[in-house]
Chains A and B, each alone.
Chain A
């Protein structure tokens, strides 16, 4: 009735062992081409930013009206000395973009750092002390989340006054709720576990518990959220810059460059195209990285 073969199943050889968690993580991550591309772009942007003084062909702020609005080198009238052309007052666009990378990365990192620092503390406090403290903190975060993020940032900057510093503060506030929620959720799941109760019984102080036991357990979601947060920060700060509320001219911040270039959209396509492209590529890279990290941390959720 059955024609039975004795061969073992093709792949499931008895010697195969489950892979090491870190290897498995890298396996999932590197299988995601988008995530790897994102990482490569980020590394490139970081290198550009770090080596700006060496790489940039010109000073980003030197104006020279005799060479104003030179097109990129491949177009008629362009020159290789100014590869991506010059802006309305003769500054080299490529050099400004490279120095802008410094600013954008700085914005992303500072904003997310502030947000994570304040957010995890608030979240840990809410999760540990519960009660009224928790209600107050979480309600406040809910309200911030309800309001459209850029609107809130605009209002804050309008009140505090335009400028890069205030813009960064505003954006940090706007993305704060994500970290508060993450940290609070981590505390609540962790404190329901036995080892935290045990640590408590054995007399470990609350602060110690918060930072030593609970925090390490929410690093994975925090890293993912940080990557996505950097992209939001860069995007929102650029939007504020574009509206004239962020970094002020002559800063080579990409959003601010776009604001300066707006009125030349009909005459010089390059002055508007390149700064935006820089924003898009960088933001996209951080989003790709964040998505890839999330999938790699939690393969079960991967779809």
Chain B
């Protein structure tokens, strides 16, 4: 039994201008102890996907799925009460902005022990002892004295460590890290990533590492899921995906990596992620894709099994008949939608 099973998940937000579909037909399986990287540009629905798994989609968002299960529990029909026993205990999440993610009016100690007392039923004394232990484990110096500190008195990196300590407090089976280093100084980023990886190994937790940086997943994830405009574009083992990307979008993301750039120039993908008003009819990436054809502009490709994973493209890069198929379907040049 997989730890996480998601089938055909959609999340929609009604807005003034119409219904915003932030996540569109996402399916995903995650085994115990597996590390999954989720990448994609900002606004591609990475966070919303994982918030849906956590049951944290804010009103008036709507979640629909054929299946949404964690550790064998059906999350679509679970009661609020049972769900709260899972969240924060068996599945935990840390966020992009550590400083605003901690409550400014309570001490670090209070916020940390709160979780322990709720899920583990510890008394104040025991929870405080455990909190000190946890702060030590996440590499916070002189943890005893930090218990009485307020979040605004700690640096961003320290706060993220506190968030991590809070997340692992009840030995979760799954930890979701939503861009855990994006808001931090470059020097701190590596430390936090190392900490997450070592904690994952030690405890054999499932780990979902959300990031918009391909480099981050390269050396951490076993499997990578590439998202674009709410859809999965490619989902394969990390080794395969980095060695031979099959989707033009993945290839473009990889080309944008500093160490892969040619001639010292950083490649960027022209154009932006489509929003509410400019969502293409066909392939969502077609306005920015170098290989788009009339066919991809009018017919949305399905997510199909490919090269040991899944891909959503009419013309996978590794397809031997690719050129013929593209030529047959009238290529339309490379101009990007403005």
Do A and B touch directly, given a CB cutoff of 8 Å in the complex?
A: yes
Chain B residues closer than 8 Å to A19, beta-carbon distance? 17
| A16 and B303 contacting across the interface, CB-CB below 8 Å | no
Inside 8 A of B280's CB, which chain A residues have their CB?
14
- Check B20–A12 contact: CB distance below 8 A: yes
Do residues B18 and A12 form an inter-chain contact, with CB atoms below 8 A?
Answer: yes
A17: contacting residue among B277, B303, B310, CB under 8 A: B277
A3 nearest CB neighbor, chain B only = B8
A4 in contact with B18 given A12-B276, A14-B281, A18-B277 (CB within 8 Å)? no
Query: A1 contacts B27, CB within 8 Å?
Result: yes
A249 contacts chain B at the CB level, 8 A cutoff: no
**Residues B1-27 near A (CB distance < 8 A):** 7-8, 16-21, 24-25, 27
Say whether B74 faces chain A, with CB atoms less than 8 Å apart. Answer: no
Known: A3-B66, A18-B277. Is A10-B19 also a contact (CB below 8 A)? Answer: yes
CB neighbors of A among B171-197 (8 A):
none
Closest to B232 in A: A2
Q: Which residues of B contact A10 (CB under 8 A)?
A: 19, 21
List of B residues within 8 angstroms of A16 by Cβ: 17-18, 276-277
Q: Which of A8, A13, A17, A27 contacts B16 (CB 8 A)?
A: A27
A9 touches B279 (CB 8 A): yes
Determine whether B278 belongs to the interface, using a CB cutoff of 8 Å to chain A. Answer: yes
A2 & B279 in contact (Cβ 8 Å cutoff): no
Contact (A14, B278) CB under 8 Å given A1-B310, A4-B302: yes
Best-surrounded residue of A5, A8, A299 (most CB of chain B within 10 A): A8
In whole angstroms, what is the CA distance A10 to B10 when docked? 12
Task: Name the residue on B nearest A9 (C-beta).
Answer: B21
Question: Which residues of the partner chain A approach B104 to less than 8 Å between Cβ atoms?
Answer: none
Number of A residues near B (Cβ < 8 Å) is 20
Closest B residue by C-beta to A4: B302
B25 near A4 (CB under 8 angstroms)? yes
Interface residue? B300 (CB, 8 A): yes
Q: Separation in Å of the B286 CB from the closest CB of chain A?
A: 11
The reply to whether A9 and B7 contact each other, CB–CB distance below 8 Å, is no
Query: Which listed residue (B27, B278, B281) contacts A2, Cβ 8 A?
Result: B27
B72 within 8 A of A: no
Q: In the docked arrangement, what's the CA distance between A16 and B15, Å?
A: 14
A residues in contact with B21, CB < 8 Å: 9-10, 12
Bound form: Cα–Cα A9–B17 in Å = 14
Name the residue of chain A whose CB is nearest to the CB of B20: A12
Cβ of A6 < 8 Å from any Cβ of B?
yes
CA distance A100 to B9 in the complex (A): 63
User: Are B8 and A2 in touch, CB under 8 angstroms?
Assistant: yes
Interface presence of A11 (CB below 8 A): yes
Chain B nearest CB, measured from A167 CB (Å) = 43
Q: Which residue of A lies closest to B10 (CB)?
A: A9
Let me know if B270 is at the binding interface, CB within 8 A. no
In the complex, the chain B residue whose C-beta lies closest to that of A17 is B277
Contact with A along B17-49 (1 / 0, CB 8 A): 111110011010000000000000000000000
**Chain A contacts for B278, CB-based, 8 A:** 14
Closest residue to A27 on the B side, CB-wise?
B16
Q: Cβ of A2 and Cβ of B303 under 8 Å apart? A: yes
How far is B25's CA from A16's CA once the two chains are assembled, in angstroms? 22
- A27 partner residues in chain B, CB cutoff 8 A: 16
Residues of B within 8 A of A12 (CB): 18-21, 276-277, 279
Contact with A along B87-120 (1 / 0, CB 8 A): 0000000000000000000000000000000000
B16 contact set on A, CB distance < 8 A: 27-28, 299
Which residues of chain A have a CB within 8 Å of any CB of chain B? Answer: 1-6, 8-14, 16-19, 27-28, 299
A-B contact pairs, 21 of them (CB 8 A): A1-B305, A3-B66, A4-B302, A4-B303, A6-B300, A8-B279, A8-B300, A9-B21, A10-B21, A11-B18, A11-B19, A12-B21, A12-B276, A13-B279, A16-B276, A17-B277, A18-B277, A19-B17, A27-B16, A28-B16, A299-B16
**A-B residue pairs, 3 tightest by C-beta:** A4-B302, A11-B18, A12-B279
Query: Given A8-B300, A14-B280, list of 17 further CB < 8 A pairs?
Result: A1-B7, A1-B310, A2-B302, A4-B25, A4-B303, A6-B299, A6-B300, A9-B19, A9-B24, A10-B21, A12-B20, A13-B279, A14-B278, A16-B276, A16-B277, A17-B277, A19-B17
